[in-house]
Amino acid sequence: MRLQNTLTGEVEDLVPVVPGTVGIYVCGVTPYDSAHVGHAMSLIVYDVLVRYLRWRGMQVTFVSNYTDVDDKLIDRGAQMGIDPLELANRNIAQWEAEQERLGLLKPDVRPRVSTEIDNIIAMTAEIVANGFGYVTPSGDVYFRVRAKDDYGKLSHRNIEDLRTGTRFEPGDEKEFPLDFALWKSAKPGEPAWESPWGKGRPGWHIECSAMSRRYLGTRFDIHGGGLDLIFPHHENEIAQAEAAANDEHVFARLWMHNGMVQRDGEKMSKSIGNVVSVEEALSRWSPDAIRLYVLSSHYRSQTNLTDEAMAAAGAGVERLARAATREVPDDARSGRAEPPEGARDSDFIEALDDDLDTSHALAVLFRLATEINRAIDAKRNADDVRAMQATLGELAGVLGLSLEQGGDDGERADAAEIEALLVERTEARAARDFKRADEIRAELDARGIVIEDTPQGARWSVKR
Ligand SMILES: [Zn+2]
């Protein structure tokens, strides 16, 4: 598999540190509020990466953290009059329930700052001992950016470029404006822990360096996150990890960054009021539609979430689901059938091996769906068609698509029952019992099922 590496700017072969295994670390949320679709979309990308590598036989360890100690949480907790850690717990519980509804795999480890304090203190102490960190009179610990010659290598800028626009704030005890906090001394009302530098709490960046080392080792395969995290967060993660090890060849080998989601052409922000929460998204669109929407563009591109795009994604899901579950007549035997050029396993693998090109992988599925419908209509060999349906289901599963018609709200349409009602309706119409035929249509309509009469007979789909 080849992936675009932000660190080198090149598309590179994924060559695991330990053959046959892949360690992946993805920065998680700071749970000061409910998760929004941007968070969901970012996780969907890495979810597909993990599913795909596992399907290819790799043993994947997937780690994603929660930043449950942070300025934003402390501020929001103070506004709401609740303990910031309690607020984090609440939002994490909600987000994890939503992740399950979205069909996201559980990371193998989900570390939190509040339970990794010893680990974080240990790494901070190593950085200070190696001369890359210093303690101020107030008990803050800073990273000494100028001690690291290659600082800026991920964002491809040098220290002089990066310091432009930064300056000392009043009361700063930093040696240099770009220096960043590894440890912050305790302030009244904030969560704080004992440390060699007095009571305090970690800065934002150190947690990811410390957690990834603990769960994936000093050298691991893939680090992911949104493009907005490249600087300063990921830049600082690299600096810390290398400073602690006193070695410039540790930490993540490949850096993957996913693009941001816009809403109707604008950045999602609280001030515009166009932030779509995961809760809202799940109330409007099925998990499969949300996922298909994300996967229909390249993970590095910026995507624009619109109602039209989501309707198209929903229709796409229906198309795939219908082909995967369409009844194949048992007596069908008018010739063999097989996946055509561009719709085979090998095409699917080629697409995802090429920097996780999910939109091409989806095109393979749509080609296969078209062929399945064509083969059913032409009454091709039933075993062949069912084999194609099984392949479609399997490959869709690698992308995390369930292809269950009717969404995920517990009111899932029972396909067999609907098919039976459609047969009854066809029979009623043939017997000129239009009253019964209309009743059946009305009943299905009430259940959110749309009937479409085609020359091949009635087809149904779930209303969007
Ligand atoms: Zn991080």
pLDDT digits (tens, 9 = 90+) for 69-119: 999 999 999 999 999 999 999 999 999 999 999 999 999 999 999 999 999
Tell me, what's the pLDDT at 464? 56
Q: Copy the structure tokens of residue 36.
A: 């929004």
Tell me, what's the pLDDT at 337? 93
Residue 52: is its pLDDT beyond 80? yes
Q: Which of 155, 125, 326 is nearest to 232 (CA)?
A: 155
Distance 28 CA to ligand 1 centre (A): 7
Distance, in Å, from the CA atom of 355 to the CA atom of 297, rounded to the nearest integer, reads: 12
Distance 228 CA to ligand 1 centre (A): 11
Distance, in Å, from the CA atom of 340 to the CA atom of 102, rounded to the nearest integer, reads: 31
pLDDT, mean of residues 34-62: 96
Name the percent of the chain lying above pLDDT 70. 97
CA–CA distances in Å: residue 302 to residues 41, 80, 226, 299 = 11, 34, 11, 8
Tell me, what's the pLDDT at 137? 95
Distance 234 CA to ligand 1 centre (A): 6
Tell me, what's the pLDDT at 446? 78
Distance 252 CA to ligand 1 centre (A): 12
Domains of the chain: 2-263 (3.40.50.620), 285-398 (1.20.120.640), 415-462 (no CATH)
Of residues 412 and 457, more confidently modeled:
457
Distance 107 CA to ligand 1 centre (A): 15
In the chain, the largest separation of any two C-alpha atoms, in whole Å, equals 92
pLDDT category at 445 given cuts 50, 70, 90 is confident
pLDDT, mean of residues 318-336: 92
pLDDT, mean of residues 443-452: 80
Distance, in Å, from the CA atom of 179 to the CA atom of 350, rounded to the nearest integer, reads: 44
Q: Copy the structure tokens of residue 84.
A: 């910031």
pLDDT category at 420 given cuts 50, 70, 90 is confident
Chain centre to alpha carbon of residue 91: 18
In sequence order, the β-bridge partners of residue 277 are 36
Tell me, what's the pLDDT at 412? 39
Count other Cβ atoms within 10 Å, centred on residue 29: 22
**Is-contact 212 252, C-beta < 8 A?**
yes
Tell me, what's the pLDDT at 415? 65
Distance, in Å, from the CA atom of 209 to the CA atom of 407, rounded to the nearest integer, reads: 39
**Is-contact 131 115, C-beta < 8 A?**
no
Residue 421: is its pLDDT beyond 90? no
Task: Specify the 3-state DSSP secondary structure of 437.
Answer: helix
> pTM (2 decimals)?
0.86
What count of Cα atoms within 13 Å lies in the side-chain half-sphere of residue 321?
23
CA–CA distances in Å: residue 307 to residues 268, 276, 281 = 15, 12, 11
Tokens 């929407």, residue?
Answer: 293
pLDDT category at 131 given cuts 50, 70, 90 is very high
Q: Hey, CA dihedral for 31, 37, 43, 46, is it positive or negative?
A: negative
pLDDT digits (tens, 9 = 90+) for 137-175: 999 999 999 999 999 999 999 998 888 888 888 888 999
Distance 259 CA to ligand 1 centre (A): 16
Distance 128 CA to ligand 1 centre (A): 20
Residue 457: is its pLDDT beyond 80? no
Amino acid (one-letter) located at 372: I
Residue 390: is its pLDDT beyond 80? yes
Distance 346 CA to ligand 1 centre (A): 35
Report which listed range, 32-41, 324-333, 362-371, is most confident.
Answer: 362-371
**DSSP β-ladder status, 2-5 and 10-13:** antiparallel
In sequence order, the β-bridge partners of residue 254 are 222
Distance 233 CA to ligand 1 centre (A): 6
Phi, psi values for residue 402, rounded to 5°: -85, -25
Mean pLDDT of the chain: 93
Count other Cβ atoms within 10 Å, centred on residue 63: 22
Distance, in Å, from the CA atom of 236 to the CA atom of 152, rounded to the nearest integer, reads: 9
Phi, psi values for residue 177, rounded to 5°: -60, -30
Count other Cβ atoms within 10 Å, centred on residue 259: 19
Distance 95 CA to ligand 1 centre (A): 18
H helices within 112-194, ranges in order? 117-129, 159-163
Distance 29 CA to ligand 1 centre (A): 9
pLDDT category at 331 given cuts 50, 70, 90 is confident
Q: Hey, CA dihedral for 207, 212, 218, 223, is it positive or negative?
A: negative
Name the percent of the chain lying above pLDDT 90. 81
pLDDT digits (tens, 9 = 90+) for 188-227: 989 999 999 999 999 999 999 999 999 999 999 999 999 9
Of residues 462 and 282, more confidently modeled:
282
Distance 212 CA to ligand 1 centre (A): 9
Distance 270 CA to ligand 1 centre (A): 23
Distance, in Å, from the CA atom of 118 to the CA atom of 128, rounded to the nearest integer, reads: 15
**Distance between first and last Cα of the chain:** 36
Q: Which residues contact 306 (CB under 8 A, 6 or more apart)?
A: 263, 264, 265
**Is-contact 339 372, C-beta < 8 A?**
no
CA–CA distances in Å: residue 46 to residues 156, 300, 356 = 24, 12, 10
Tell me, what's the pLDDT at 409? 37
Distance 348 CA to ligand 1 centre (A): 31
Distance 256 CA to ligand 1 centre (A): 12
Tokens 């100690």, residue?
Answer: 69
pLDDT digits (tens, 9 = 90+) for 242-280: 999 999 999 999 999 999 999 999 988 878 889 999 999
pLDDT category at 410 given cuts 50, 70, 90 is very low
User: CA-based angle 223:43:241, to the nearest 5?
Assistant: 20
In the 8-state DSSP scheme, what is residue 231?
Answer: I
